[in-house]
Amino acid sequence: MVCTKNIIDEFGQSAGKVWKAINTHGPLTEKEIIKNTRLTKKNLYAAIGWLARENKINLDNNLYNLGETNLTNEIGLGAGKVLNTIEVCGEIDVASITRLIEVKEIDVYHALGWLAREDKIQAKKGRLKQSPVKFILK
């Protein structure tokens, strides 16, 4: 496996795009954010986790807005579970995390964005193009 920071950097860049879209257009739905940023859903979810950790995004009536977060309980708790899972497993991909802690993929990406912002994880990409990215502790 090859260590790479590209995915972690990508989460941060995605967070910047989400922040800019909401700052420009005001409160947006998930669909509107994707339309304005052209992010994949996975990158959007990681960006939301990143911004939640920075206390910069909240969700009200399916609209994301800038401001003090109300997502700490949901995403922060999930980040703790994901962090513990990575710690126990050493290196693990998203599908395995989802299966082991019995959460939805969206919650794993939220947590990964949160943990990436805390600089607690890094990504490892397999040598084969189709190999899943695995996450490890820093």
pLDDT digits (tens, 9 = 90+) for 50-95: 999 999 999 999 999 999 999 999 999 999 999 999 999 999 999 9
Q: Residues 106-111: what's their mean pLDDT?
A: 98
pLDDT value for 4: 52
pLDDT at 125: 76
Q: What is the CATH number of the domain that holds 82?
A: 1.10.10.10
> Residue 6: which pLDDT band, with cuts at 50, 70 and 90?
confident
pLDDT in tens, 30-48: 999 999 999 999 999 999 9
Taking the C-alpha atoms of residue 138 and residue 122, their distance in angstroms, rounded to an integer, is 6
Residue 102 token pair: 């019995």
pLDDT of residue 5: 53
Q: Closest Cα to residue 17, out of 71, 1, 40, 127?
A: 40
Confidence grade of residue 1 (pLDDT, cut at 50, 70, 90): very low
The parent domain of residue 29 ranges over 2-137
CA triple 71-73-75, angle to 5 deg:
60
pLDDT at 124 (0 to 100): 83
- Percentage of residues of the chain with pLDDT beyond 70: 93
What is the maximal distance between C-alpha atoms in the chain? 43
Number of domains the chain contains: 1
Average the pLDDT over each of 12-26, 67-81, 95-109, 116-130 and give the range with the smallest value: 116-130
- Distances in Å between the Cα of 113 and the Cα atoms of 42, 70, 76, 85 are 10, 16, 10, 15
Cβ-based neighbour number of residue 45 at 10 Å? 25
Judged against a pLDDT cut of 70, whether residue 138 lies above it is answered with yes
Q: Considering the chain, what is the average pLDDT of its residues?
A: 93
